[in-house]
Amino acid sequence: MAKTAKTSGLSGFPEWLPAERLVEQHVIDVFREVAELHGFSGIETRSVEPLEQLLRKGEIDKEVYVLRRLHAEDGDGSGAHGIDPARTLGLHFDLTVPLARYVLQHQNDLAFPLRRFQIQKVWRGERPQEGRFREFYQADLDVVGQDTLPGHIEAEVAVVMAEILSRLPLPQVTIHANTRRLSEGFFRSIGLEDHTGVLRSLDKLPKIGPERVRALLLEETGASPKQAQACLDFAGIRTRDASFAERVRELGGGGEMVEQGIAELTAVLERVEAAVPGVICADLSIARGLDYYTGTVFESFLEGHESLGSICSGGRYDSLAADNRHSYPGVGLSIGLTRLVSRILSAGLAVPSRPVPTCVLVAVTDEQSRPLSDQVARTLRSRGIACEVAPTAAKLGKQIRYADRRGVPFVWFPGTDGAADEVKDIRSGEQHVAEPGAWEPPAQDRTVQIQPGT
């Protein structure tokens, strides 16, 4: 249909229909449930931060949305005469900058290590394109220590990540892990000191392929052909178990840093494998973010949807925030939730078992007997069965069609003149006598199920 400008969508600001929102809500619910089972506290931060805070991550400053009161007097720092970053507010573009500020602000009221999850919308003024939004949900989970944070937390966060991903309605997900010490140690142990340069080159592997990466390594990092080959071989190592270690050593990797990295990565693999089998692998090509992260780093890919990029990433960072008394190291992971939900919906990876929460439509025989239908609905609801009462006392066939059009699976007919109530499954047409205080819908119909798509 032709949409008028007035009612058309805004590019980059996705919005779901009610049935689609059930899928998004399910993803949010799973994230929250698993996080809480692992003792993570949910928090929300305000949507705005002073612009000067947001600009600290220099490279994405152009993505920030700045706020201005429409009838602002002189006082809000964002008038027509330029922007004052200390007094201007911007919408947060991730949940990490707000977390750092929250931790510093509330440090005296928080118990460390802080285990927190946070599911909120963030905004980026990027040019919208396939899978890139201007407003989207991020779902983050971090453990933040005060001054110290034990290394095994890296594996612990990966376990939570694996549990969340394995419970979402998704094809096979694989979490790819690497650790900074292993990469840096390896490059150093084969004689390459410019380890960040090597990482930067290897990061381009998926985009430009091995031959052009080889050229980069030769030109920009001063690698010899043999060293470049070793780097490419190193980045090709991908194993489900600890056997990556032997292959690193065969390529000439060794020394304290490499062995430390091997021990770290092995611990992560073993702990995640014990908790959620078949999800984690060591992938020594993972380079992105290794200059930011200081320990283990994770990316996650969806089988058949590798073009989506990493759907859940994270790792260890040694300085989320600091003041003159404390530093705050952390381990975190982040899911680009809207992006993932958008793919689930567009690829039909999951569908709700019905488009509405309603399990039962209680029919109304005539307006005089509406209180009787209300009573049936109340009894069903008191037993946790979602229902609505028909809006009009239309002919029963019309009420059944009404339920059908909404996707409500059952219609309840209150008995009149002493007759028993009956309930009809409008999918099968089956109808039988029932009592509102005792009738049970089939387990799969009690609440909306989010099912794998076809």
Residue 288, marked binder: yes
The answer to whether 340 is a known ligand-binding residue is no
**Closest distance of CB 318 from a copy of itself, Å:** 16
Question: Which CB atom, from 104 or from 396, has the smaller least distance to a copy of itself?
Answer: 104
The answer to whether 94 is a known ligand-binding residue is yes
Query: What's the closest the beta carbon of residue 197 comes to a copy of itself, in angstroms?
Result: 29
Contacts of 381 by beta carbon, 8 Å cutoff, 6+ apart: 387
Instruction: For residue 445, say whether it is annotated as part of any ligand binding site.
Output: no
In the bound state with a copy of itself, the residue whose beta carbon lies nearer, of 262 and 276, is 276
Report which of 147, 129, 118, 120 is spatially closest to residue 32, judged by C-alpha positions.
118
Candidates 313, 312, 257; CA nearest to 290 is 313
CB of 211 to a copy of itself, least distance (A): 36
Query: Least distance from C-beta 49 to a copy of itself, angstroms?
Result: 8
Q: Are the C-beta atoms of 123 and 65 separated by less than 8 Å?
A: yes
Which lies closer to a copy of itself via its Cβ, residue 89 or residue 311?
89
Query: Does the annotation flag 96 for ligand binding?
Result: yes
Alpha-carbon torsion angle 281, 283, 288, 292, nearest 10: 70
Cβ proximity to a copy of itself: between 112 and 218 the closer is: 112
CB of 300 to a copy of itself, least distance (A): 21
Burial of 258 (0-12, 13-18, 19+ CB in 10 A): buried
Q: Which of 130-134's residues contact partners 24+ apart within 8 Å by CB, and which partners?
A: 131/308, 131/339, 131/342, 131/343, 132/12, 133/12, 133/13, 133/14, 133/338, 133/339, 133/342, 134/11, 134/12, 134/13
Burial of 256 (0-12, 13-18, 19+ CB in 10 A): exposed
Task: Closer to a copy of itself by CB, 38 or 249: give it.
Answer: 38
Q: Which two tokens stand for residue 242?
A: 């600890």
For a copy of itself, the closer CB: 374 or 422: 374
SS3 383: coil
Closest separation between CB of residue 291 and a copy of itself, Å? 25
If we measure between CA atoms, which residue out of 259, 261, 302 comes closest to residue 282? 261
Q: Residue 124, annotated ligand binder?
A: yes
The first and second tokens of residue 101, run together, are 């500020």
Residue 95 is labelled as binding a ligand: yes
Q: Of the two residues 255 and 391, which places its CB atom closer to a copy of itself in the complex?
A: 391
Smallest gap from residue 388 Cβ to a copy of itself (A): 3
* Cα 247 from Cα 237, distance rounded (Å): 7
Picking from 109, 26, 59, the residue whose alpha carbon sits closest to that of residue 345 is 26
Known binding positions: 94-96, 124, 138, 142, 288, 292-293
Known binding positions for L-histidine: 94-96, 124, 138, 142, 288, 292-293
